[in-house]
Amino acid sequence: MMRIGMLTSGGDCQSLNATMRGVAKALYRLFDDIEIVGFEDGYKGLIYSEYRVMNPEEFSGILTKGGTILGTSRQPFKLMRTPDENGLDKVEAMKHTYRKLKLECLVVLGGNGSQKTANLLSEEGLNVVSLPKTIDNDLWGTDITFGFQSAVNVATNAIDCIHTTAASHGRVFIVEVMGHKVGWLTLYAGIAGGADIILLPEIPYDLDVVVEALKSRSKNGKKFSIIAVAEGAISKENAKLSKRELKEKKKNGVVYPSVAYEIGAQITERTGQEVRVTVPGHMQRGGEPCPYDRVLSTRLGAEAAKLMQDKEYGYMVAVDNNEVVKIPLVKVAGKLKTVDPECSIVKEAKMIGISFGDE
């Protein structure tokens, strides 16, 4: 019997179940005698040997179900080599569980931190195949990750809903979109939702430029404005500071719930305009996967199963020019795919008048 381990790690997203389904359905067709072991709550289940043997019926009816039937948790990569409170060596514990269950391969569905741990286990001698999950679309080596388009749909809908109330009251609305380090989600949702200003972590903003863009809209008879702000958006002034200097500045300054509230307060102070902040938050991770993600998840899952059939381990399945390919985990681990300020989509957005607060 061939035995495969599977886990979902890190932040959840809408397409984890759809992707597991794709992997499982392909495996059941490719192998006559196979058993899938599901680890509960991500790497935590692998560390502490918390698992269950899954049956084919568990993978039916979950294509449209958000979240993950296995549960997930965050196990920071930087702490993987640090023993737990009982002195347990987590890496050795994961290797022990893998070997105790006589797994042929471990399938990992996760984002940046999860891929780093997957690569670590691969380098430790385990057979690993991974799949690219994150609503941030920031995994290096793949054009797109599953979960991204579904999150774009949710964030765009939030901006769409804001349009009517913003227009009715003639206010400035700020919609804060997820994305601490990378702004793909904010960029796509901002463009799709018709935001007037988009602020990203990769493009430090000048508040004077933001204010000027708002004043320009007012002069042109526009009674309202919508700003899409990534969680990690940063001013040009703060971008010049070291992490320590920035931490000290925030410690000694006014404490805001998030960057969106800080920007809102600054805009009101400079313009007198009424500003409202909306934070969709974890709604962007929730709900059912969109049709695009269902198709993507199915394709990625099937190709992951093919890698296992061919005994090709140490790879992440990825998308390159709409084709599903494999890429060595060692090339993926620790790398972020950020928004290039000079990329075509940013230039095109600027061509239609969207301000990024930088010029």
> Does residue 315 sit within a domain?
yes
User: 193 with 266, same domain?
Assistant: yes
Q: Is the pLDDT of residue 313 over 90?
A: yes
What are the tens digits of pLDDT across the range 77-120?
999 999 999 999 999 999 999 999 999 999 999 999 999 999 99
The model carries a pTM of 0.94
Query: Nearest 10 degrees: CA dihedral of 341, 215, 179, 163?
Result: -120
**Torsion region of 83: left, alpha or beta (phi above 0 gives left; psi -120 to 50 gives alpha):** beta
Give whole-number Cα distances, 188 to 1, 108, 114, 126, 210, in Å: 45, 27, 24, 37, 19
Query: Nearest 10 degrees: CA dihedral of 288, 293, 294, 296?
Result: -160
**Torsion region of 272: left, alpha or beta (phi above 0 gives left; psi -120 to 50 gives alpha):** left
CA distance 185 to 149: 9
> Does residue 353 sit within a domain?
no
CA distance 178 to 281: 7
- Per-residue pLDDT, 347: 98
Would you say 9 and 110 are in contact if contact means Cβ atoms under 8 Å apart?
yes
What are the tens digits of pLDDT across the range 221-268?
998 999 999 999 999 999 898 888 888 888 777 888 999 999 999 999
Would you say 199 and 229 are in contact if contact means Cβ atoms under 8 Å apart?
yes
CATH of the domain at 134: 3.40.50.450
The total domain count for the chain is 2
Would you say 144 and 250 are in contact if contact means Cβ atoms under 8 Å apart?
no
Average the pLDDT over 122-145 and give the result. Answer: 97
User: 300 with 240, same domain?
Assistant: no
- Per-residue pLDDT, 248: 82
**Torsion region of 321: left, alpha or beta (phi above 0 gives left; psi -120 to 50 gives alpha):** left
In 3-state terms, what secondary structure has residue 93? Answer: helix
- Per-residue pLDDT, 14: 93
> Does residue 341 sit within a domain?
no
What range defines the domain where residue 72 resides?
2-147+289-332
% of the chain beyond a pLDDT of 90: 87
Q: Find, among 153, 142, 184, 185, the residue nearest to 304 by Cα.
A: 142
> Does residue 358 sit within a domain?
no
CA distance 183 to 198: 9
The catalytic residue positions are 136
- Per-residue pLDDT, 286: 93
Q: How confident is residue 348, by pLDDT bands cut at 50, 70 and 90?
A: very high
Least confident window among 38-42, 163-167, 288-292, 329-333: 163-167
User: 9 with 116, same domain?
Assistant: yes
